[in-house]
Amino acid sequence: MIKIKLLPRGKKHQVTYRIVVAEDRSKSDGKFIADLGFYTPQTKTLELNKESFADWQKKGAQVTEGVDKLLNPGKYPKKIKNVKEVKETKVEEPKAEEIKEEVKTTEEPKTE
């Protein structure tokens, strides 16, 4: 089966992707049949030859999920990250009335 998929190129933290037509079981960076365009995630640049893309779809090439996400971003909702709430434990300070009571109980009455 022939698919339209992303082919990674570039350095580790500077990856760009070629949008290519390749065999389904080929390696991610292996041989491809046709080059349709590119995508650069750093600048969010997407360039695609729409005529060739439509032609390959008519011939029966399937679009992979990665390419489909680039072309139809509204179809896939963004995932919401779960943020763990940090519970803060507050140390309660004794009230002024409680302090006075403690002072009164610790003082011994003077007897003369």
Which fold does the domain 2-75 belong to in CATH? S16 Ribosomal Protein; Chain: A; (3.30.1320)
Is the four-CA dihedral 79, 8, 36, 31 of positive or negative sign? negative
19-68, pLDDT tens digit by residue?
A: 999 998 888 778 899 999 999 999 999 999 999 999 999 999 999 999 99
The helix/strand count (H/E) of the chain reads as 3, 5
Domain extents in the chain: 2-75
DSSP H/E element including 104: helix 96-106
Task: Answer yes or no: pTM beyond 0.75.
Answer: no
Instruction: Say if CB 14 and CB 3 are below 8 A apart.
Output: no
